[in-house]
Amino acid sequence: MYRHCIKRLIDLVLSLMAFAMLSPLLIVIGILVRIKLGKPVFFKQQRPGKDEIIFEIFKFRTMKDTKDRNGNLLSDELRLTRFGGFLRSTSIDELPELINILKGDMSIVGPRPLLVKYLPLYNERQHHRHDVRPGLTGLAQVNGRNAITWEKKFEYDVTYTKNITFMGDCKIIFQTVLKVLQRNGISSKTSATMEEFKRK
């Protein structure tokens, strides 16, 4: 009952409330992104959602489009600005995903939506992370975020999909607030963001 009906209703109510309360911040951040990083203000990218159906995710842009002599984008470390790093460390860059929650692409709590190119790399168990809507935050995010291995992250994701409860979601949301305030697990040990997933 909760995972199929009530969870979606809570997503709608909370995301609408968040939009109302955070709209001044969203406007200010949008203006700062435009000034410091240029156009576009939003970063848009295709991601797989529930049942691996592709949708377009919205985030605040955090990187410049700096390219090398051959026209290839430089590494994340070189394109990520101090301002962009601040947006990531505070998770402010994720706030436009409230749009995705309202549209029904995402939920407040669920496995984070990753890159489309990772779909063929998952094993049978890992594919189950797409049995539910992806989330703004999730079990993996409160247990290490980008600082843990891909295998541990996927195990947390699948564990969540099989054990969804109201109290469990409330606990994850509370822990997420603490993690954001502490700014823990923003980067992996080998990358400014998260190292690319490759099947072993």
Interval 16-25 mean pLDDT: 94
Surface-to-core class of residue 137, CB atoms within 10 Å of its CB (0-12 exposed, 13-18 middle, 19+ buried): buried
Question: 44-48, 77-81, 100-104, 160-164: lowest mean pLDDT where?
Answer: 77-81
User: What does the pLDDT read at residue 99?
Assistant: 96
Ranges 14-23, 111-120, 187-196: which has the least confidence: 187-196
Domain ranges across the chain = 2-182
Does residue 167 surpass a pLDDT of 50?
A: yes
Taking 80 as the threshold, does the pLDDT of residue 169 lie above it?
Answer: yes
Compute the C-alpha angle 160/164/169, nearest 5°. 90
What SS3 state is found at 45? strand
By mean pLDDT, which of 44-48, 71-75, 139-143, 157-161 is the weakest?
A: 71-75
Pairing state between β 107-109 and 135-137: parallel
| Structure confidence at residue 137 (pLDDT) | 95
Q: Tell me the average pLDDT across 58-82.
A: 81
Asked if residue 193 has pLDDT above 60, the reply is: no
Which residue has better confidence, 153 or 181?
153
User: Has this prediction a pTM greater than 0.85?
Assistant: yes
